Structure formats: C-alpha cells, structure tokens
Amino acid sequence: MPSIRAHLIQRIMKDFRDAAHPQVSLEERRRQFDEVALRGIRLPPGVTVRKVTAGGVPAEWIEPFETDPGRYILYLHGGGYTLGSLDTHRGLVARIALAAHARLLQVDYRLAPEHPFPAALEDALAAYRWLLGQGIAPGQLAVGGDSAGGGLALATLLRLRDAGDPLPAAIFLLSPWTDLTFSGPSTRSREERDPVLSLASGWNVREYAGAQPLDNPLISPVFADLHGLPHMLIQVGTEEILYDDSTRLAENARKAGIDATIEIWEGMWHVFQAAAPYLHEAQKAIDAIGIYIRNHVEMK
C-alpha cells in the first residue's frame, strides 16, 4: 500500500474514532461523523440517487446505470443507532449496488436517543413491507447492513419471521454489532489493536435500548434463536473489538441450520469496506458481496 494512501486511511479511521467519542455532545458527534464520511467516502460514478418515502420512512434508491432486472437490496446503515444517515453511507452502498448489479434502497431510520428502540426496527419493517407492496418478491431481495445496521438487519428478519412475513432470499452483514452487552472476549482482547472502535464507543447502548435489557434478542441478536433465517454472509476484520460478534453469530446460525458464510479479513478493521476508494481489500470484499447477492437473489 503506498504510504500516502496508508496515511489517508489512518487519518479517516482516527477521525471516525474521534467522532464516536462520548466526551463531545451528540450534536457535535453527528456533525463530525457526517463530515468525515462525506470527505472520505465519495459517491462513485455510474449510479443515480432518487429520494423516496418507503412506508412513511425517508429513504433513497441507489440505481446503477446497469442492473440485472428484478434484483434488489434493502440496506440499513451503521452508526451505533445514534449516528449516520443516508449521506454518510451513500458512497459505500453505491459500491455494493454496483457490485451486485442491483437497485438498492437505503433507509433513513430514526435514531436514538430521540427515538430509542424499537423505533429503528419499526422503520426497517415498514420499508421492507413497502418494498413487497411495490410488487417485489421476497426472492428478489437481499437485506444488508453494517455495524449497528447489521444488528438491525438481523432484528428485522427475526421480527418478520415471527410475524409470519415472507423473508428475503439472503442477508449480508458487514462487521455487525450483535451484542450490546459487550460480552465477547474480543471487546477487550482486541481493544489495543482496533483503530476505529473502543469500549468507550459503546456509550450509546442505553441511548438505544432505553429500559429494555441489553440481551433482548431484538437488540442483541447474537442471543436470538436464528432458525428459519435465509442464507447469510458475514464479513469481519481481525483487528476489531466486535470480532466475536461475528464469529459467535456465524456459529449460532450454523447450529440453527442456516447456510452461513463468514469471511474473516486479515488485518482489517471495523467496516473496512468503506475504504474502497483507497484500499484494494475493501473493494475486493465489496466485490465478494456482489457475487454473493447475484448467486442468491433471483432475477425477475
């Protein structure tokens, strides 16, 4: 990796870590998070962006110039349930849409602490059901998310399953945050290695969970009964404190009879895929997501 590119990536990661620090106001954290993402993770060429309201929830379609007819993605952004927006993740999700040759709906779900659990989950459910109401068959759809958005994607499928709704063809998760109790050993054993997150980044667990227990399976899906969920792809880096959130999830999914694949990326950090403009491994991981979606999601 050229030194100038390595320096740029390290600067972006440091800025993200600083933006998530609890010692500044929530307003300032959100401003910094948005600023870092917009500066470092730009929209690639080859897509259009179209605002829409999905079941009453603000959202936007990311539409590559070239798509496979009838293939769709519902995406839930990360940000610890308190940060992030359509703006912060547009560059990342556009690259996923391009790799998958699919139209992607990104959802601007409500954030805590203004809107604690289950507001984000209700918005994700509304957007999913809206897609089906547009005539999109479940088999044409993948659901994905990164970090907190990965945990939210899992919770969404659990609620859909329990309500008897048809499930999507596949789910893909980038460094999913699945354990808000931080019980995984990696939260401590990897803290000195993680360039993005620290235990201090978990200031927001009560902001999101409110009075609910942190091991509620819809808040921490690593504790959920996962039976009946569709194909699952998980990507995680070796250098992140949430490493065990992914490995335990994959193990639990397989025990529940789910066809689950986990890709462990050596030397990579939390949601490293966002560095695709600068990092070969990040684009390679996104390309793998695209292949996975094309292999598991039907075309009309």
Q: What is the dihedral of CA 127, 133, 135, 138, to 10 degrees?
A: 60
Q: How far apart are CA 160 and CA 252, in angstroms?
A: 19
The answer to whether 40 touches 13, Cβ cutoff 8 Å, is no
Look at residues 135, 110, 114, 113 and name the one whose alpha carbon lies nearest to residue 124: 110
DSSP 190: T
Report the catalytic residues.
147, 240, 270
Burial 217-233 (b: 16+ CB within 10 A, else e): bbbbbbbbebeebbbbb
Q: How far apart are CA 9 and CA 6, in angstroms?
A: 5
Q: How far apart are CA 189 and CA 238, in angstroms?
A: 11
CA 148-105-218 angle, 5° bins: 30
Q: How far apart are CA 84 and CA 73, in angstroms?
A: 19
Q: How far apart are CA 84 and CA 268, in angstroms?
A: 21
Q: Is 8 left (phi over 0), alpha (psi -120 to 50) or beta?
A: alpha
Q: What is the dihedral of CA 262, 289, 284, 252, to 10 degrees?
A: -10
C-alpha distance from residue 11 to each of 5, 15, 40, 193 (Å): 10, 6, 10, 16
Number of C-alpha atoms within 13 angstroms, CB side, residue 138?
A: 15
